[in-house]
Amino acid sequence: MQTILGVIFHSLGGVAAGSFYMPYNKVKGWAWETYWMVGGVMSWLIVPPIAAYLTVPGFMDIITASSNTILGFTFLMGLLWGVGGLSYGLGVRYLGMSLGNLVVLGFCAAFGAIVPSIYYNFKPEVGKVSFTDMLGSSGGQIVLLGVLICLFGIAICGKAGMLKEKELSDEEKKKSVSEFNLVKGLIVAILSGILSSFFSFGIEAGKPLADAAITAGYDSLFANNVTFVVILWGGLATNLIWTTLLSIKNKSYKDFTNKTTPIRSNLLFSALAGTVWFLQFFFYGMGESKLGNGASSWILHMSTIILTANLWGIYRKEWHGVAKKTKTTITAGIVVIILSVVLVGIGNSI
């Protein structure tokens, strides 16, 4: 039953993560940095402490009582993850919901699945599997094989993107993705995928915060909400600095007072996107409490995001008008990535 609940919670988080960008498509007349800033403040500064307060009312006492080392390292992982989150938005902006998510989340899934084990190589802990342990066990080897296959799936998806680039005219590409740019998008998406995996690392670094919440008598189902507050502070710092610099450079801060745009509507959709973005972590924390923050949790979360994002990509007709070969290639890439998820799950269970 615990496993089933874990799968359900991770799936809910994956659906939220795969869907959060959709409200941004409703924003009219604003620069990217403007609506990303509003969504970021919502998802990283406002909603997390509200969620923590509702589920772990004494979360600030736990944070202030924690050591600077734990807080600093957790914050740092959030800072690096924040760069990944920032470039994620750019990846989807240049590649679209389908291809952008496949590349970003494929790399994120692969690295996030093994990052915790690497962490425990440097900081051994009873009951935790290190990277060395993975190399020396059949289950660990299957997990690593799954990660390699995941990367192969990403390469296939990248090939589909290249085919799409050749087949469609600029006008046709921009019907579904207004700023489609394959080269720029792939570079940004790969960077995003690698750095986004540091969220998994941050959960491990901030585990003492969640443990302290459980020791204080709070429900283990919501204990990770304390850790998320600190991780997301790091993400907020990265994104707020960058979007502010862009706003000053492009003078896009004027968007907030530009009456020729639907300001209230834009604020609402941006805030909605930010809130849905946070829900992925809320449900991930619940799923992790049931399954643990191993490769299974991370890959399950990522695979649900990939599937959800691709359904949105189909809905937005991002692959409309391409040749059968291109559609077959992107389908093959998705199947290979799903296969890698199954292998990682099998390996982790062993």
Every domain of the chain and the residues it spans: 2-349
Of 111 and 333, the one with more pLDDT: 333
Of 332 and 110, the one with more pLDDT: 332
pLDDT of residue 45: 94
pLDDT of residue 350: 67
- Whether the predicted pLDDT of 173 surpasses 60: no
pLDDT of residue 349: 64
4-18, 75-89, 155-169: which has the minimum mean pLDDT? 155-169
Mean of pLDDT values over 96-123: 69
pLDDT of residue 233: 95
Q: Which pLDDT band holds residue 34 (cuts at 50, 70, 90)?
A: very high
With H, G, I as helix, E, B as strand and everything else as coil, classify residue 322: coil
Six token digits for residue 136: 């020396």
Q: Which pLDDT band holds residue 70 (cuts at 50, 70, 90)?
A: very high
Residue 198 CB partners (closer than 8 Å, separation 6+):
77, 78, 80, 81, 84, 115
Percent of the residues in the chain that have a pLDDT greater than 90, as a whole number: 36
- Whether the predicted pLDDT of 172 surpasses 60: no
Length of the chain: 350
C-alpha span between 15 and 13 (Å, rounded): 5
- Whether the predicted pLDDT of 113 surpasses 70: no
pLDDT of residue 74: 95
pLDDT of residue 209: 96
- Whether the predicted pLDDT of 348 surpasses 70: no
Q: In Å, what is the CA distance from 261 to each residue of 165, 177, 225, 230, 250?
A: 32, 21, 36, 35, 17
C-alpha span between 227 and 83 (Å, rounded): 19
Residue 301 CB partners (closer than 8 Å, separation 6+):
10, 13, 14, 17, 280, 284, 287
59-63, 157-161, 197-201: which has the minimum mean pLDDT? 157-161
Mean of pLDDT values over 277-290: 84
- Whether the predicted pLDDT of 98 surpasses 70: no
DSSP 161-198: HHHHHHHS-HHHHHHH-TT--HHHHHHHHHHHHHHHTH
Six token digits for residue 138: 């059949």
187-191, 261-265, 267-271: which has the minimum mean pLDDT? 187-191
